[in-house]
Structure 1
Amino acid sequence: MLRSRITPVLLIRNNGLVKTVKFKTPKYVGDPLNAVRIFNEKEVDELIVIDIDKSSKNQEPDFGLIERLAIESRMPLCYGGGIKTPEQAQKLVNLGVEKVAVSSAIINESNLVREMSEAVGQQSIVAVLDIKKSGLLKKYRLFTLNGTKEEKRDPFDFALELQSIGIGELLVNSIDQEGTMEGYDNKLNSKMRDMLDVPITFLGGAGSLSDIKDLIERFGPVGAAAGSLFVFKGKYRAVLINYPNQADKYLLYNH
């Protein structure tokens, strides 16, 4: 990764665009295809789309919707949700998706990472680590299925394992900060950045461009991802698809 990327994240449920807070209370915010069209005009670095129902309901990806999104998108597109096989990953890439994001399917099937990498290329496989503090000691724990299932795997050990077997990229998502717009969990992010060499995108908590600037200044070339920041405006969270203009991006990248 030669430079940082600023990446909107869109959550899909029942083919509609929603936004959650700490993985709960999904709020409908519009049509995903319309959001993609607006982000096209704003020259977004890349876009992440995650269907939050597919894995939890044991459903496969909605390939029809994904094809429409990929055709519409003029920016690199990453899709996650319901992906369990190398064949599904290959089909997504054939539809025009550049990166395939996987989470619950690889927790106990790390060999699946190798199989998917062989199918579509290592650089196209993104592992999503949804992490929150849990238990009396508030230790960072790994969760799947929309934060409903706490996994036995230590998130940091698992990240190192994924790196060793050749994951293309990690998406580190703080459930505690997700949708709060109160800033990234940079304690979590710092530990991940210090121990890993693979490209990392951080998600969860960005409430302003200052949060993104701080993230890039702290950790150098990383992916700075956000959901609420790019679909809401103002303290009342009016729905407004937005993204920094070229001048703002220049200031964020060149600190």
Structure 2
Amino acid sequence: MLAKRIIPCLDVKEGRVVKGVNFVNLRDAGDPVELAALYDREGADEIIFLDISASIEGRETMIDVVRRTAGEISIPFTVGGGISKVEDMKNILRAGADKIGINTAAVLNPQLINDGSQRFGAQCIVVAVDAKFNPEWGEWEVYTHGGRKPTGIRALAWIKEAEQRGAGEILLTSMDADGTKDGFDIDLTSAVCEAVNIPIIASGGAGTSEHFYDVFTKGKADAGLAATIFHYKEISIPELKNQLKDKGVEIR
């Protein structure tokens, strides 16, 4: 079994880190470069930046943030939000990111996954999927545009397609669990982990170390991502890793 990863997520809007519940009610959580450097020192395995404003100004802001962050940290980091063509990927990677996260753009133009993977390697391409349970279907539906737009696409089918097209990893966010701190969506995570062979980063709902334990053991996720609990010092990364190691989880 590969060692599990702990990944803080920084939602960046207009150059600041923000956090909300179920994708709304955002509040300020600090400077992205300072937070990334702190998490690096604390032993995070990777960092994910999501540019949630991703406007023209936001994109320029983000490239500057990526460049400054690259000079401060030694762990891999992924940048997503507003990346819709290979040229965008090149610019973000050139600024110092290690991986690219694509979500809405990949749904609108699935060929982008193929093109990015062929140009930069599958290890660079993280397909982010925001999924919400659809009771009529009895399974999960993909949402785009920051969780605002239902697509009518079944999440499991889309994730399998993303893998076939060359995605190296899936960042799987449960919209139902996001920001609730009631635990990761184990049903969703385990269903996806069983469906594909690429690593799955579970996101949405982390509130305690027990939740990470559950998503690694029951959910079979390769990495656990959280924002709120780290930003507001509810649990530190060293503390989390120690608790997981004590329970027999192999951690990096």
- Residue 85 of structure 1 corresponds to 85
Q: Secondary structure in 1 aligned to 2:238?
A: coil
- Residue 15 of structure 2 corresponds to 15
2:207 & 2:6 partners in 1: Cα distance?
13
Q: Residue type of the partner of 2:164?
A: S
1:159 & 1:78 partners in 2: Cα distance?
19
**Aligned pairs for 1:34-113 within 5 A:** 34-54=34-54, 60=59, 62-113=62-113
- Residue 125 of structure 2 corresponds to 125
2:244 & 2:44 partners in 1: Cα distance?
10
1:32 & 1:166 partners in 2: Cα distance?
29
Gaps of 5+ in 2: none
Sort the Cα spacing of 1:169 and 1:254 in 2 relative to 1 into closer, same or farther, 3 A: closer
1:9 & 1:226 partners in 2: Cα distance?
6
- Residue 6 of structure 1 corresponds to 6
1:107 & 1:228 partners in 2: Cα distance?
27
1:170 pairs with 2:170: yes
2:121 & 2:30 partners in 1: Cα distance?
33
Q: Residue type of the partner of 2:208?
A: S
TM-score of the pair, normalised by structure 1: 0.89
- Residue 155 of structure 2 corresponds to 155
Question: By how many angstroms is 1:139 displaced?
Answer: 4.4
The CA RMSD over aligned residues, in Å, is 2.2
Q: Residue type of the partner of 1:231?
A: H
- Residue 238 of structure 1 corresponds to none
1:138 & 1:22 partners in 2: Cα distance?
20
Q: Secondary structure in 2 aligned to 1:229?
A: helix
TM-score of the pair, normalised by structure 2: 0.90
Contact 1:129/1:170, CA 8 A, preserved across alignment:
yes
- Residue 244 of structure 1 corresponds to 238
Q: Secondary structure in 2 aligned to 1:93?
A: helix
Q: Secondary structure in 2 aligned to 1:151?
A: strand
Question: By how many angstroms is 1:7 displaced?
Answer: 0.7
**Aligned pairs for 1:188-227 within 5 A:** 188-220=188-220, 222-227=222-227
Sort the Cα spacing of 1:4 and 1:52 in 2 relative to 1 into closer, same or farther, 3 A: same
Question: By how many angstroms is 1:116 displaced?
Answer: 0.7
1:3 & 1:96 partners in 2: Cα distance?
25
Sort the Cα spacing of 1:169 and 1:132 in 2 relative to 1 into closer, same or farther, 3 A: same
Q: Between Structure 1 and Structure 2, how many residues are aligned?
A: 248
Gaps of 5+ in 1: 235-240
Contact 1:90/1:119, CA 8 A, preserved across alignment:
no
Q: Residue type of the partner of 1:76?
A: P
Q: Residue type of the partner of 1:247?
A: N
Q: Return 151-160 or 243-252, whichever deviates more.
A: 243-252
Question: By how many angstroms is 1:165 displaced?
Answer: 1.5
Question: By how many angstroms is 1:228 displaced?
Answer: 1.3
1:198 & 1:205 partners in 2: Cα distance?
22
Q: After TM superposition, what 4+ stretches of structure 1 lie above 6 angstroms from structure 2? A: none
Residue by residue, what CA displacement relative to the aligned partner does 1:203-226 show, whole Å, maximum 9, x if unpaired?
000101111011112244611111
2:22 & 2:216 partners in 1: Cα distance?
23
Question: By how many angstroms is 1:232 displaced?
Answer: 2.1
Residue by residue, what CA displacement relative to the aligned partner does 1:68-120 show, whole Å, maximum 9, x if unpaired?
12222221111111101112112222222111000011113111111111221
Contact 1:43/1:75, CA 8 A, preserved across alignment:
no
